Amino acid sequence: MLRIILALLLLTSAFAQQGTPPAGPVPTIATKAASLQKMPGYFPLYWEDKAGKLWLEIDKFDVEFLYVDSMPAGMGSNDLGLDRGQIGGSRIVRFERSGPKVLLIQPNYRYRSITDDAAERRAADQSFAQSVLWGFDVQAEEGGRVLVDATQFYLRDAHHIPSTLQRANNGTFRADLTRSAFYLPRTKNFPKNTEVEATLTFTGENPGGFVRDVTPNPEAITVREHHSFVELPGPGFRPRVFDPRSGFIVSAFTDYAAPLDGRMPQRFILRHRLQKKNPAAAVSEAVQPIVYYLDPGAPEPIRSALLAGARWWNQAFEAAGYKDAFHVELLPDGADPMDVRYNLIQWVHRSTRGWSYGAAISDPRTGEIIKGQVTLGSLRARQDYMIFEGLLAPYLDGKTIPAELSRTVLARMRQLAAHEVGHTLGLAHNFAASVKDRASVMDYPPPFVKLNASGVPDLSDAYATGIGAWDKIAIDFGYRDFPAGTDEKKQLDAILRDATARGFIFISDADARPEGGAHPLAHLWDSGTNAVDELNRILDVRAKALSRFSANVIREGEPLSTLEDVLVPIYLLHRYQTEAASKVLGGLYYTYAVRGDGQKITERIPGPEQRRALEALLHTIEPGALTLSPSILALIPPRAEGYYHNRKDFHNRTGLTFDPIGAAESAASLTVGLILNPQRAARLVEYHAEDPNSPGLIEVIDRLMAVTLRVRPGPGLSAEVQRAVGAVVLYDLMVLAANENAPAEVRAIAMFKLTALREWATAEAGADENTRAFFAWAAEQVKRFEANPKDIGIPKPADPPPGQPIGCESN
Ligand SMILES: [Zn+2]
C-alpha cells in the first residue's frame, strides 16, 4: 500500500509542469470537446488525436467503483515476475470534487464501522488513513459534469516496474514518456466499464541478466499497462461467513461497530455470485451461470485439455444442486482479455519455467469475486514431458514415440487448469487431499509412477481425472443456495461435519511446507496414503528408472551432454516425498477443529512410525542410492558447444566435467537439512521429554551419524559419495549448533554430538589414507568450530537444482 502511494507521489511531481487549471472562465464540455473524438461509456472518454491526449468526463461524484490495473503485455521472465495478464492492483475508489480539483480517493475498507449511525461510521473513517490516488484539474464543466485531462494518469506506470527491476537487482529504469503512448485497439468504453491501455517504455542503465534474457534491447523495455474503471456489482449478493474447515480463502476486515459481545474481525469467503433460479428445487439452473473464457493463445491439443480440466468444476456445482451453472468457453475473437467482466484463463510464456497462478478481483466489502484471472505457464508441459522421457527412455531405434508421453502431459494440463480455476472460485490448497485417494485438484499432484510387471515405469495412472470428492464438499459449502427459511449456519456446519465423518480433512499452505511444517498428512507433491511407505516405494521406482537410464532418454541427433538435463529430475525423483516423510519425524497430527465439532484436535505420532520415517530418510542418503553407475557417467560429456550449462543442472565442483559427487552432495543436503531442521529438532526434544517412547534429538543425531560420518567406507566412488554425505551432515550439525533461533537444549545437543564426533574421529584409524584424511579433517573442523562457534568454516553444500516451478512464490 505504502509503495503505491510513494510511487504515485513521485510521478505526480514529475508531471508538475503539466495539467494546471485553465486561466480565465472554465469552458463547457461541449465547447472543449467539440473537436475531440467521443467514446461514450461508463465514464465517457474523449480522444484528442492531434495531441495524443485522452480526456475523461467525470459525471459521477462520490459514487464508488472498482479501479483495476493490469499488464496485458509483460516481460516473459519468471524471475522478474512481470507476466502477461498480471493483475496489478484492484481497489474501490470514488471521485470527489473540491473547487477546481477532482481527487480519486481510495477509502479504507479494512477498518470499518458497519452501522446506521453516521457519527460512528465517521469515527472509523477518520481514524484510519485513506489514499488519494490522483488529483485531476477541471478543464471544462457543464451540468454537474467535468472534463479532465487524464493523459498523465493513464500514461503513468501503475505496475511499479522500475522498483520491481531494482528489487531484483536488474538495473535502474524509469518511464520514458517520449516512447510511451496510448494503445487505442484496447482503449474502449462500455456501459459498465471504461478500459484504457497504454504502451509504456522504460529506459535505463545496467540492465541485469534477467532483463537481457528477455528484451530485444535491454536498455528499452516496452510493455503495456491497462486500466479499468468498473461499476461495482449491484445488491443481492449474500456474503458467506468463513469457516477455517471449509477450504475457502478468507476475505477479512475489522468492524469497529461490533457489539461488545460480538467479534470485531469479520471473515467472509471469496466466492462468485451464484443463485438458483429455484432455490426450493433439489436441482436448479442458475439465475446466471459462472462463465470462464480460455485464451485461444493455448495451442491444441493443450487447448482442449485446458477446457476439459476447467470444466470439471461443473461436476462440483452439480453436486451442490446446480444444473449447467459453470461454463468454460474459448474467448471470442475481439474480446479483450483484460476486460474485467470476463473470467479468464490465460496461457503465458516465459523464458524459464515458473508457477501458474489463480488470482481473483473481489469486492472487499463482501468477498464477491468479480473476475477470476488464471495464468498458466506454458513451460510446465515441456518440463513434464522431459521427466516422462527420463522415466520411459522412449527413443529406441526405429520405434515411434509412445503416445503415453503426450497423453500424460495432457492429463497434467487438465489438473493444472482445474487447480488454478479452483483458486479463482475462492478455494485454497488442500494439501491433505492426496492421502485420501487424490480427493482434490487443489493439492499439488506429482505423477504417480508405478512399475509394471517387467519393472518398467508405468504412467497409466499418473494423474487423477475429474473433480475430487473434497472439491465437491468445498463447493457445496461455498455455493449451495438454500431455500428460504433454512438455518444456513447449521446446514453449512452439517456439510463440514459430514466431511469429517467421511474422513476428509483440510490442511492448507503454512502447515504443509517442509520448513517447520509438522503435519504428517499434508505435503506438497506427495502421493499415497502414508508418506513413509510412499518414500520407500518411490526410492524403488527411482532405482529402476536410474538402472534403465540411457541415451534412449534423448532423441537421435541431440547432444549427449543434454542427458544431464533429463537426469536431474530422475535422480531427484524422491525429493518431495522425502520432504513429506520428514514431517512424520517430530510431527504432529492435527485438524483446524472448532470448539464443539468433535474432530480429533491433535495426536502425537507413535515412536515406531517416527523411527520408520527416519530410516526411510536415511535410505535416501545411502551411497548405494546416490552413487551413479559408471554406464551413466560414461554417457555424459561436458556441455556441447551451443548447449550451455544452466541452473537447472547440477552444481559442478570439477570444472566443466559432470560431477557425480557434487550431485550426491546436493541430494544429501536436501534430506539432512530436513532431518536437522531446527524446529523439528526442538519438537524432537519436547516430544521425547513428554514421552520417552518418542525418538529424541540425541537418538536421531546418533542414528544419522552412525550411517554417515561414523562409517568406514570401502573403496570406489561410493566411498567418496559417503564422505561427501558426511561433510553435509557435519555442516548441518554445525549450522544447528550455531542457530541462534534454536532452543538452547537443541544447540547443546548438537554441540555435544559434534564434540563426541571429534573425539571418536581423532582416535579412529580408518582403513586407508582417504578415510584417515577425512576423519582427521572432520575432527579438525569440529575443533575449530568449538573454538569459534560463530564460524562454520566449511562451505555450504551445493544446492540441488530447482525442482518446483522456478521462482519464489507458489500457487
Ligand atoms: Zn495453487
CA of 306 to the centre of ligand 1 (A): 16
C-alpha cell at 174: 524509469
Q: Of residues 613 and 26, which shows the higher confidence score? A: 613
Q: Pick the closest to residue 369 from 496, 251, 466, 537 (CA basis).
A: 251
Cα-to-centroid distance, 357 and ligand 1 (Å):
7
pLDDT band at 494 (very low <50, low <70, confident <90, very high): very high
How many angstroms does the Cα of residue 191 sit away from the middle of ligand 1? 34
- C-alpha distance across the termini of the chain, in Å: 22
Q: Please determine, for residue 649, whether its predicted confidence score (pLDDT) is greater than 80.
A: yes
- The residue type at 180: S
Report CA(282)–ligand 1 centroid distance (Å).
Answer: 31
CA of 68 to the centre of ligand 1 (A): 23
Q: What is the pLDDT of residue 21?
A: 58
Cα 184 to averaged position of ligand 1 atoms, centre (Å)? 35
Burial of 776 (0-12, 13-18, 19+ CB in 10 A): middle
- Please name which of 369, 317, 367, 364 lies closest in space to residue 341, comparing C-alpha atoms: 369
State pLDDT tens for residues 133-159. 999 999 999 999 999 999 999 999 998
So what's the pLDDT on residue 22? 59
- Residue range 196-212: mean pLDDT, rounded: 90
**Rounded distance from Cα 430 to ligand 1 centre (Å):** 9
Q: What's the gap in Å between 579 CA and the centre of ligand 1?
A: 18
pLDDT at 379 (0 to 100): 86
Q: What is the mean pLDDT of residues 220-231?
A: 92
* Mean pLDDT, residues 620-631 taken together: 97
253 forms beta bridges with 266
- Lowest mean pLDDT of 7-21, 265-279, 749-763, name the range: 7-21
Interval 699-747: pLDDT, tens: 999 999 999 999 988 889 999 999 999 999 999 999 999 999 999 999 9
C-alpha grid cell, residue 632? 551413466
- Minimum mean pLDDT among 76-80, 264-268, 290-294, 588-592: which range? 76-80
pLDDT at 78 over 60: yes
Look at residues 742, 732, 751 and name the one whose alpha carbon lies nearest to residue 668. Answer: 732
| Residue 481, pLDDT score | 97
Q: What is the four-CA torsion angle of 457, 458, 459, 462, rounded to 10 degrees?
A: -90
18 band by pLDDT with thresholds 50, 70 and 90: very low
Instruction: Please compute the mean of the pLDDT values over residues 665-691 and round it to a whole number.
Output: 97
Ligand 1: centre distance to CA 607 (Å)? 33
The answer for residues whose C-beta is within 8 angstroms of residue 256's C-beta and 6 or more apart is 111, 112, 113, 120, 123, 124, 127, 264
426 Cα: distance to centroid of ligand 1 (angstroms): 11
Say how many Å lie between the CA of residue 80 and the centre of ligand 1: 20
Give the three cell numbers for residue 543. 532405482
Are residues 317 and 291 in contact, defined by beta-carbon separation less than 8 angstroms? no
User: pLDDT for 82-136, tens place per residue?
Assistant: 888 788 888 999 999 999 999 999 999 999 999 999 999 999 888 888 999 999 9
420 CA to middle of ligand 1, Å?
Answer: 6
The predicted-structure confidence for 522-539, as pLDDT tens digits, reads as follows 999 999 999 999 999 999
Higher pLDDT, 167 or 627: 627
The predicted-structure confidence for 414-456, as pLDDT tens digits, reads as follows 999 999 999 999 999 999 999 999 999 999 999 999 999 999 9
Whether the pLDDT of residue 810 is over 60: the answer is no
CA of 591 to the centre of ligand 1 (A): 20
Give the environment of ion ligand 1: residues with CB less than 5 A: 811
Cell 455470485 maps to which residue?
A: 273
C-alpha closest to that of 166 among 375, 3, 370, 407: 3
Q: Which three cell numbers stand for residue 487?
A: 438455518
**Distance (Å) from CA 442 to ligand 1 centroid:** 6
Q: Name the residue with higher pLDDT: 809 or 603.
A: 603
Strand partners, 205: 172
Q: What is the mean pLDDT of the chain?
A: 92
pLDDT tens-digit series, residues 356-408: 878 888 998 899 999 998 988 888 899 999 999 999 999 998 788 899 999 99
Please give the distance, rounded to the nearest whole angstrom, from the Cα atom of residue 431 to the centre of ligand 1: 10
**Predicted confidence (pLDDT) at residue 571 exceeds the cutoff of 80:** yes
pLDDT of residue 592 exceeding 60, the answer is: yes
Q: How far is CA 92 from the centre of its chain?
A: 26
DSSP at 279: T
Compute the Cα dihedral for 136, 141, 147, 152 and give only its sign: negative
- Distance from the CA of 764 to the center of ligand 1, in angstroms? 51
State how far the Cα of 631 lies from the Cα of 562, in Å rounded to an integer: 16
Lowest mean pLDDT among 280-284, 606-610, 762-766: 762-766
Contact (Cβ atoms closer than 8 angstroms) between residue 239 and residue 394: no
Give the pLDDT mean for 763-776.
89
Of the pLDDT bands very low, low, confident and very high (cuts 50, 70, 90), residue 227 is: very high
DSSP letter string, 542-592: HHHHHHH-SGGGS-TTS-GGGHHHHHHHHHTTTHHHHHHHHTTTT-EEE--
| pLDDT band with cut points at 50, 70 and 90 for residue 20 | low
- Would you say residue 343 has pLDDT above 70? yes
**How much distance in Å is there from the Cα of 423 to the middle of ligand 1?**
7
List 91's β-bridge partners, or say none.
Answer: 67
Q: How far is the centre of ligand 1, averaged over its atoms, from the C-alpha of 443 (Å)?
A: 7
pLDDT over threshold 50, residue 803: yes
Q: Is residue 3 scored above 60 in pLDDT?
A: no
Ligand 1 center to 798 CA (angstroms): 28
Calculate how far, in angstroms, residue 470's C-alpha sits from the geometric centre of ligand 1.
15
**Partners of residue 186 on adjacent β-strands:** none
